[in-house]
Amino acid sequence: MSEYRRYYIKGGTWFFTVNLRNRRSHLLTAQFQMLRNAIINVKRDRPFEINAWVVLPEHMHCIWTLPESDDDFSSRWREIKKQFTHACGLKNIWQPRF
């Protein structure tokens, strides 16, 4: 099994790839407004800068920069995934990690 190491650097810039469990799904583009709302809600409560974001049918790529005093990208992802999943009325739609 792979050993993932994450380096937490306050104010860091991060690249992420986040996948749906079903790689044939079109959920992210079909429900883009729900995804957008989840991102806006999390960004309002836990600010971060979006440098780039690409949404494809079943996965997305993005680059974020966190505030100078913050290194917690994991809780932001957890909340975005949770809000989107809840808005869609689904369960267990994400691949683990990012």
User: How many C-beta neighbours within 10 Å does residue 84 have?
Assistant: 23
Helical (H) or strand (E) element with 83: helix 73-88
Could you tell me the domains of the chain? Answer: 13-88 (3.30.70.1290)
Residue among 5, 16, 6, 98 nearest 64 (CA): 16
DSSP 8-state class, residue 95: P
Over residues 32-40, the mean pLDDT reads 99
pLDDT in tens, 52-94: 999 999 999 999 999 999 999 999 999 999 999 999 999 999 9
Mean pLDDT, the chain, whole residue set: 95
Residue among 76, 55, 78, 80 nearest 65 (CA): 76
Helical (H) or strand (E) element with 37: helix 32-45
pLDDT of residue 1: 60
